[in-house]
Amino acid sequence: MDQGEAGTSAGRGGVGEVFAAFAKLGVTAFGGPVAHLGYFRSEFVERRKWLDDRAYGEYVALAQFLPGPASSQVGMALGAHRAGWLGGLAAWTAFTLPSALIMIAFAYGVVALGDVRGAGWLHGLKLVAVAVVIQALWQMANNLCPDRPRAGLALAGAAVALLVPSVWGQVGAIVLGAAVGAAAFARPLPEAAHGGLNVGRTAGAVMLVCFFLLLLAVPPLAAGSDGLLAVFDSFYRAGALVFGGGHVVLPLLQAETVPRGWLDADLFLAGYGVAQALPGPLFTFGAYLGAAKTGDPTGLLGGLIALVAIFLPGALLIFGVLPFWQRLRERPRVAGGVTGANAAVVGILLAALYDPLWTGSVGNALDFVFVLAALALLTLLKAPPWAVVALGALAGALLL
């Protein structure tokens, strides 16, 4: 990236400025990726005027086109837009670290408590997670499957994910969705604005090569191992294959961790429930899993390896694709493939709602009423997720 070309009419800033701005958002940006994008626009387009709406909209469009955590990818692009490569790193670190450290601390607490599988507070967190995913599924279906063909593709994706209960079933569903979408939903994307952040084609190509090299070459090296390389591979693959971001990472991470025996399903769902209560990106759930897992690396080291691995593919993609974005978006079949893949991930989330969430959490009428109550708080009363999570844990300890 040409450091001189990455600025805006507002002038270039320093890494410290970027870190401070994103650190504030890292402790206040509740509500998930859609809300995060709203916070970013308010802070960096309206208040700080680092860039204009058209440039911001282009970063958002690119992030939504790619696998990975969309809001974090936009945040990294904004940081690099303002202060170069170190600015991108500062933005990611400041936005991600607060919730990641809390998740690692929670992992230490859960491990110290020992066997908590029968605890009421834990069951309450699991039931709240069911309600959160139902809400996310409804919202995603409305946005990504608004017609019968895409709804049908989502149902087909759910069937594939359920019949092949592994990460390969989920990848198969995404590939199926992309192939059908390229044929059925081909359409040109709207005219692009210039994003303002210039990444050279050579740098972009190197990052894309790194992305695919890590995705394809590490699994054979990690085969049969449960050590550091296996942890990196599992979380990197989850981050590389998540279209839609946020809640869609749940089934991929579950398939990579629970069947391996790294932690049981109850602890997995408990961490997912707590992640809903925190600001910042939901992908920091990976830090909890890395810290709570059995076997080395675990604890702080395991959490940090998982954290870096799950975010790294999104970073490589957002900067790697950027110099080729203008040509890609002009190809209707590329846009159609993304549309189909997005419909398929709705189906993957539907499959995850059934297994492991519903089958592992809802066992009787009281559990079902508990889920309905949490869902009412989230959707009808618009209660913040952190409050619903806290109330769910308390109610679980008292009632379940």
How confident is the model over 272-326, as pLDDT tens digits? 888 877 888 989 999 999 999 998 899 999 999 999 999 999 999 999 998 887 7
Neighbouring C-beta atoms of residue 147, cutoff 10 Å: 9
* Cβ contact 293:262 at 8 Å: yes
Q: 362-377 as b/e, with b when 16 or more CB fall inside 10 Å?
A: beeeebeebbebbbeb
Label residue 364 by pLDDT band (50, 70, 90).
very high
38-65 pLDDT, tens digit each: 788 888 988 899 988 777 877 877 787 7
pLDDT at position 190 = 58
Mean per-residue pLDDT, 327-344:
80
pLDDT at position 6 = 39
pLDDT at position 21 = 94
In whole angstroms, give the CA distance from residue 240 to residue 215.
Answer: 8
Q: What percent of the chain has pLDDT over 70?
A: 91
Give, in degrees to the nearest 5, the angle at Cα 82 between 310 and 208. Answer: 40
Cα distances from 341 to residues 40, 192, 237, 260, 324, in angstroms, run 26, 22, 17, 27, 20
In whole angstroms, give the CA distance from residue 349 to residue 161.
Answer: 9
In whole angstroms, give the CA distance from residue 276 to residue 133.
Answer: 10
pLDDT at position 304 = 97
Residue of higher predicted confidence among 371 and 324: 371
Cα distances from 349 to residues 151, 157, 165, 376, in angstroms, run 13, 9, 13, 20
pLDDT at position 13 = 77
Q: By C-alpha distance, which of 244, 239, 246 is closest to 281?
A: 246
**Do you find a cis peptide bond into 33, omega within 30 degrees of 0?**
no
pLDDT at position 246 = 66
Q: Is the dihedral of CA 364, 370, 374, 375 positive or negative?
A: positive
Residue 356 has what DSSP assignment? I
Mean per-residue pLDDT, 24-35:
79
pLDDT at position 68 = 87
In whole angstroms, give the CA distance from residue 33 to residue 194.
Answer: 23
In whole angstroms, give the CA distance from residue 126 to residue 118.
Answer: 12
In whole angstroms, give the CA distance from residue 95 to residue 28.
Answer: 10
Mean per-residue pLDDT, 371-389:
89
116-162 pLDDT, tens digit each: 667 788 788 888 878 887 887 888 788 889 999 999 999 999 999 89
Q: 70-109 as b/e, with b when 16 or more CB fall inside 10 Å?
A: bbbbbbbbbbbbbbbbebbbbbbbbbbbbbbbbbbebbbe
Lowest mean per-residue pLDDT among 78-82, 83-87, 272-276, 360-364: 272-276
3-state SS track over 30-87:
CCCHHHHHHHHHHHHHHHCCCCCHHHHHHHHHHHHHCCCCHHHHHHHHHHHHHHHHHH
Would you state the torsion angle of the CA atoms of residues 100, 103, 105, 108, taken in this order, to the nearest 10 degrees? Answer: -130
pLDDT at position 277 = 79
196-221 pLDDT, tens digit each: 567 788 999 999 999 999 999 999 99
pLDDT at position 388 = 87
**Placement of tokens 């594939």 in the chain:** 160
